[in-house]
Amino acid sequence: MDIFEGRITSCGFDSGDRIVIGLWEKSPFGSFADIMWARPDGTKILIAPNEKIGEYIDSLYDFDEIRIEEIKIQRNRKEIIFNCTDIQCQFNWGNEISFLVKRRPLWFVSTIEYFFGWLIFRTKTYGKTKNGRKEWYVVDKISRLKKAKAKISGKDLGRYTKFSPKANFGFSDPPKMPASVIVRSHIE
């Protein structure tokens, strides 16, 4: 079982771009960040810090392009600022809402939590990856974004908005509402 513990922050922008950043504190690869970017035309790009991580993530989810780039991260209590070759982004979030008990069985995540995750946020907490592995998203806390700004190749993406349309990176998309989520991903 591969377990990733960290934060996923996501939103859309007026430009039609959708950005998801994974900031993983603990993982089989140690601490790292990755960016999933869906362009307005539907092109899906993964930006990973090295080839090993890029290949692993690409084995799980669908991308049209994989870029290996240094991702610079600044973290504050309720803020992430990140930069790579083409993308500069800043996400700020509000108070976090805790979900249930921190440690809960995966069967609960794939049944009861799945139902409520879909009903409330239109996200799936359980499914199969591109290569047929089982994956559970165990959400511990969620926050609504209070502010987000981004530039791609120096061009401002405009006002932040819902994560829509779906990016279809994998079996589940982030919540439609701009959000930052403390999560544990279990991959079997």
Q: How confident is the model over 121-130, as pLDDT tens digits?
A: 889 999 999 9
The CA distance from 16 to 127, in Å, is 26
pLDDT above 90 coverage of the chain, percent: 91
Would you say residue 129 lies in a domain?
A: no
pLDDT grade for 100, boundaries at 50, 70 and 90: low
Tokens of 33: 């960040």
Give residue 80's Cα distance to chain centre.
Answer: 13
pLDDT average, residue stretch 163-184: 94
* Average pLDDT, integer, range 147-172: 95
Q: How many residues can be counted in the chain?
A: 188
* In a domain? residue 105: no
What domain count does the chain have? 1
Question: Would you say residue 139 has pLDDT above 70?
Answer: yes
Answer whether residue 127 is part of any domain: no
Residue 115 within any structural domain of the chain: no
- Provide the mean pLDDT of the chain: 95
Q: Which residues sit opposite 163 in a β-bridge?
A: none
Q: Is residue 47 part of a domain?
A: yes
Residue 111 domain flag: no
Supply the range of the domain harboring residue 65. Answer: 2-100+143-180
Of 121, 95, 124, 91, give the one whose Cα is nearest residue 109.
Answer: 124
Question: Which residues are registered as beta bridge partners of 151?
Answer: 88, 156
Give me the mean pLDDT over the 53-71 stretch: 97
Q: What pLDDT score does 99 carry?
A: 72
Evaluate whether residue 106 is within a structural domain.
no
Residue at 164 is within a domain: yes
**Rg (the chain; Cα; Å):** 15
